[in-house]
Structure 1
Amino acid sequence: MGVHHFILQLVNRLLKISYLRAIRETFCALMPVIVLLTLIDMAGCLFCDPTGPVLGDEGLGIGTFLTDGLHDEAYRESAFYATMTQLRNCLKVTVLINSLLFSLVLTNKLARLWHGDVTASVVCTVSSYLFLLAGFNGNLASLSTYFGGRAFFLALLIATVSVLVFSRLARLRCLHLPVPQGMPQAMQQSMILFIPLGLTLFSSLITSFAWLSVEQSIHSLPSLLQGYFGADIAQIPAAAILYECLRRLLWWFGLNGSSLTFFWNEAFYIPAQLANELENSKYIFTIEFFDANSISLLGLAISVWVFSYREKLRQLSAYSLPCLLFSINEPFLFALPIVLNPLFLIPYLLAPMLNVYIGYLAIDFGIVPLFHYSVDATVPVLLQGWLSTGDIMGAVLQLVWLSLDIVIYTPFVIMFNMLTREEDAIEEANAYEA
């Protein structure tokens, strides 16, 4: 009872934090765009990658068919391969677009929240992105890969810092530029903020340069984590379970846990995946392992659809099901909602943590192969497990995870039915009166 009371108090306090509310509202406003851009990226992975599951020799081999039987080196040197690679790289930019749009919408909300000039704040955010892109040394593919894990983190950081710095500077009247009275009002307002805007843009330039310099140095956060903890710590089951718990807990707060924990991922689980793929190493916990485990909300959706007697929730579950099949969890997270919902906190954390341990045991005992192959995170459930392990047992593992998640979530769905019975009665009375 004490823990439940503490969680309720925590939720009530978090709901009053306007900054977190602005982030949640940004997610909700951009949900159609997030889903659409994710599906575009998924289509690029499935149908445009010349080494992917449709075109590649290890998949359906359609690429070989379309190039009149070319294989291996001849296939990789073909014009078809080059064209499809370029197209795939262009579609990868959806990650960057997603990040920029999120930052712009959040900038708008934060500027209104902190009583700043919306237009000037948006200019600061866009300029920060352009400084960051201009300072990045790499092609479009490497840029998309760089933003792939950091998209939300950079969007949150750029929007928050840009609006915060500009709004604080704009309040300092000593920085306001005197302007003649005959100037048009719109220009007059913008010229008054000339110095705060200039200082904000200059600080964005310096910050972007410093950020990229640190990221590309041996003192970057992933490098420091590797040096301090060592590569083996991430393969300890307790560390993997703790990582998954933190990732899900951040999502429960309404923050993108995958992006905010990406530096740990980049330090340990991405290198482990590459070592499995290129060096035939034996790492159990890799980025593909955790991507395959991102299906626990599908278990909740099925449980709601089967055991909830509220038609509204059943419709919501059915509506979100196609997205959840492709591991696009945001619509269900914010629509049910899971975010800051005290009732579902325990199963939301417990289900993926148990999945991690069961997956560890299944691979350690040789029942399921290691996750050797990299596939897109939005590859459909079961197919993702199959492709990333190269064995049907990878799909069986995902099916076991899904079944366990349904069992874990079902008692809480039934409890949710009981707690919302009064709400249902009110809705029925209102419908009868109407």
Structure 2
Amino acid sequence: MQKFMDFMEKYFIPVAAKIGAQKHLIAVRDGFVSIMPIVMAGSFATLINALPVPGYKEFMEKTFGIEWKFVQNAIWDASFGVMSLLVVFTTAYSLAKSYEKDGIACATVCYASLAMFYGVVPVGGDSFKGATGLFVALGIALIFGTIFCKLLGNPKLLIKMPDGVPPAVSKSFAALFPSMIVLVLAGITKAILVWVFGINSIHQLVLDSIQGPLMGVFTAGLAPILFLIFLQQLLWFFGLHGSNVLAPVINAILLPLTTLNIEAFNLGNKPENIINSQFLDSFVNMGGSGATICLLIAIFIVSKNKANKIIANLSVAPGLFNINEPVIFGMPIVLNPIYIIPFIIVPLVCAIIAYLATLWGIMPVIGILAPWTTPPVIGAWMSTGSFRGALVALINIAVGTALYLPFVMAADKKAILEESQGLAQ
């Protein structure tokens, strides 16, 4: 174990720490976090449209008329329907802030740059303003946003305004030349794509060649998501925020899979993607990464260590809303060789159980996006629209608790031994 710890601390942790602190990845993470309230509103609108209750649709039509979905559909169009437009703005804004530049100016010019790459769309066609256009939106925010931030503040491009001019006007003129340069570069890029390479839709190209295949990796089977979960837990064990480090991957690849399921659910069709971002929240990260709600239950059942019980009592309230930093850093789980095995194994087992339960038709495929702070079991019920989803989550908690129990008892014995040795000295 010590050799493994030394190897990880020497080679793995420094690289992971640099990745976690990389400005562009942080911008992507914060960009998605910023739009979560709007995305949640769209998800609840979908739930209202397709609540899986017998006779619900007929009741709503009789009560409110055949257009009873109008408001919910409008909310959908303003959230999931324009997700890429929202993300390019928030990601560019976050990136500019990391460079200590004008966030609004950067977000605005990146939004305008993205607008150039949308073609004429026939009625009923896909304009790639939703989740299918995320890769292009993120690419434009990161590439053109970085160029803008590098240009902004350059003395040769700065228009100095006389004293007494309002600050907002001064900032606007300071961004004039950088904005013009970025927009010209975006226009030239599109011209090259169309005139030289004959690419009329960069969105379709990226979807077919990059985003689609990456999404397909996670729909092909269990192995990719199990590797992702393993990596997330390993990062947490070494004190790095695994969820934040991997957030760009989860949001750019797994969130669109959730969105496709929600679209199908909203249309009354059967969702198809078993693995998606909500799958992790509903059935894997119960109580937080490591399914630590199971650890808390195990402590309440068998632990006789007062310190553990105090930490568990303090952690249970945030744990019910999937916030588990008090457990991870309080027990601690970080760099604790006793808990590394269940901390990694339990989420993997939970993922396998939930995947098989969905594959075998025991519960429906996830079709709703629930807030990540929704308590375990309730989140599973909401996201699947079925009490069978809640039952599978309960089974995961029971199995996870059983797996944590022997390690809690081992930690108790170690604590008692260390205490007795301390008294003897």
Query: When the two structures are superposed, what TM-score results if normalisation uses the length of structure 2?
Result: 0.62
Corresponding residue of 1:257: 249
- 1:146 equivalent to 2:135? Answer no
Any conservation in 1 of the 2:292–2:319 contact (CA below 8 Å)? Answer: no
Q: 1:412 to 1:194 in 2, by over 3 A?
A: farther
Q: Distance in 2 between matches of 1:370 and 1:148?
A: 27
Corresponding residue of 2:107: 125
- 1:213 equivalent to 2:201? Answer yes
Q: 1:406 to 1:62 in 2, by over 3 A?
A: same
SS at 1:79's partner residue?
coil
Corresponding residue of 1:321: 320
Any conservation in 1 of the 2:31–2:94 contact (CA below 8 Å)? Answer: no
User: 1:161, CA displacement in angstroms?
Assistant: 2.9
The amino acid across from 1:44 in the alignment is: A
Corresponding residue of 1:103: 91
Any conservation in 1 of the 2:152–2:175 contact (CA below 8 Å)? Answer: yes
User: 1:318, CA displacement in angstroms?
Assistant: 1.0
Q: Distance in 1 between matches of 2:245 and 2:73?
A: 38
SS at 2:390's partner residue?
helix
SS at 1:261's partner residue?
helix
User: 1:148, CA displacement in angstroms?
Assistant: 8.2
Q: Distance in 2 between matches of 1:79 and 1:295?
A: 38
**What do residues 22-68 of structure 1 show as CA deviations (whole Å, max 9, x unaligned)?**
9669968997x666545534432333x2xx21xxxx42544533433
- 1:402 equivalent to 2:397? Answer yes
Q: Distance in 2 between matches of 1:279 and 1:108?
A: 41
Q: Distance in 2 between matches of 1:88 and 1:189?
A: 35
User: 1:284, CA displacement in angstroms?
Assistant: 8.6
User: 1:81, CA displacement in angstroms?
Assistant: 3.1
Corresponding residue of 2:157: 176
Corresponding residue of 1:432: none
The amino acid across from 1:293 in the alignment is: F
Corresponding residue of 2:238: none
- 1:293 equivalent to 2:283? Answer yes
Query: Counterparts of 1:63-78 in structure 2 under 5 Å?
Result: 63-68=57-62, 78=66
**Runs of 5+ in structure 1 lacking a partner?**
113-117, 325-330, 421-434
Which sits farther off after the overlay, 212-221 or 245-254?
245-254
User: 1:300, CA displacement in angstroms?
Assistant: 0.9
From 238, 241, 254, the equivalent of 2:226 is: 241
Corresponding residue of 1:425: none
Any conservation in 2 of the 1:386–1:395 contact (CA below 8 Å)? Answer: yes
Q: Distance in 1 between matches of 2:40 and 2:273?
A: 28
Any conservation in 1 of the 2:287–2:319 contact (CA below 8 Å)? Answer: no
Any conservation in 1 of the 2:354–2:392 contact (CA below 8 Å)? Answer: yes
Any conservation in 1 of the 2:147–2:182 contact (CA below 8 Å)? Answer: yes
Aligned length: 379
User: 1:390, CA displacement in angstroms?
Assistant: 7.6
Any conservation in 1 of the 2:88–2:140 contact (CA below 8 Å)? Answer: no
Which sits farther off after the overlay, 127-136 or 88-97?
88-97
SS at 2:320's partner residue?
helix
User: 1:251, CA displacement in angstroms?
Assistant: 2.5
The amino acid across from 2:105 in the alignment is: V
**What do residues 281-310 of structure 1 show as CA deviations (whole Å, max 9, x unaligned)?**
9x7945475664344445314534773737
SS at 1:216's partner residue?
helix
Q: 1:62 to 1:284 in 2, by over 3 A?
A: closer
User: 1:195, CA displacement in angstroms?
Assistant: 3.6
Corresponding residue of 1:59: 53
Any conservation in 2 of the 1:89–1:141 contact (CA below 8 Å)? Answer: no
User: 1:123, CA displacement in angstroms?
Assistant: 1.0
The amino acid across from 1:303 in the alignment is: L
Query: Counterparts of 1:273-284 in structure 2 under 5 Å?
Result: none
Q: Distance in 2 between matches of 1:261 and 1:247?
A: 16
User: 1:270, CA displacement in angstroms?
Assistant: 5.6
Any conservation in 1 of the 2:91–2:138 contact (CA below 8 Å)? Answer: yes
Q: Distance in 2 between matches of 1:334 and 1:145?
A: 39
**What do residues 385-418 of structure 1 show as CA deviations (whole Å, max 9, x unaligned)?**
5677786544332222223334456677889999
Query: When the two structures are superposed, what TM-score results if normalisation uses the length of structure 1?
Result: 0.61
Any conservation in 2 of the 1:44–1:92 contact (CA below 8 Å)? Answer: no
Corresponding residue of 1:354: 349
Q: 1:305 to 1:208 in 2, by over 3 A?
A: farther
User: 1:171, CA displacement in angstroms?
Assistant: 7.4
The amino acid across from 1:220 in the alignment is: S
Q: Distance in 2 between matches of 1:212 and 1:335?
A: 52
Any conservation in 1 of the 2:230–2:348 contact (CA below 8 Å)? Answer: yes
Any conservation in 2 of the 1:369–1:389 contact (CA below 8 Å)? Answer: no
Corresponding residue of 2:148: 166
Q: Distance in 2 between matches of 1:39 and 1:83?
A: 15
Any conservation in 1 of the 2:380–2:389 contact (CA below 8 Å)? Answer: yes
Any conservation in 2 of the 1:125–1:158 contact (CA below 8 Å)? Answer: no
Q: Distance in 2 between matches of 1:65 and 1:46?
A: 15
Q: 1:316 to 1:334 in 2, by over 3 A?
A: closer
The amino acid across from 2:98 in the alignment is: L
User: 1:110, CA displacement in angstroms?
Assistant: 1.6
From 177, 180, 186, the equivalent of 1:198 is: 180
Q: CA RMSD in A?
A: 5.7
**Runs of 5+ in structure 2 lacking a partner?**
194-198, 236-241, 300-306, 416-425
Q: 1:213 to 1:412 in 2, by over 3 A?
A: farther
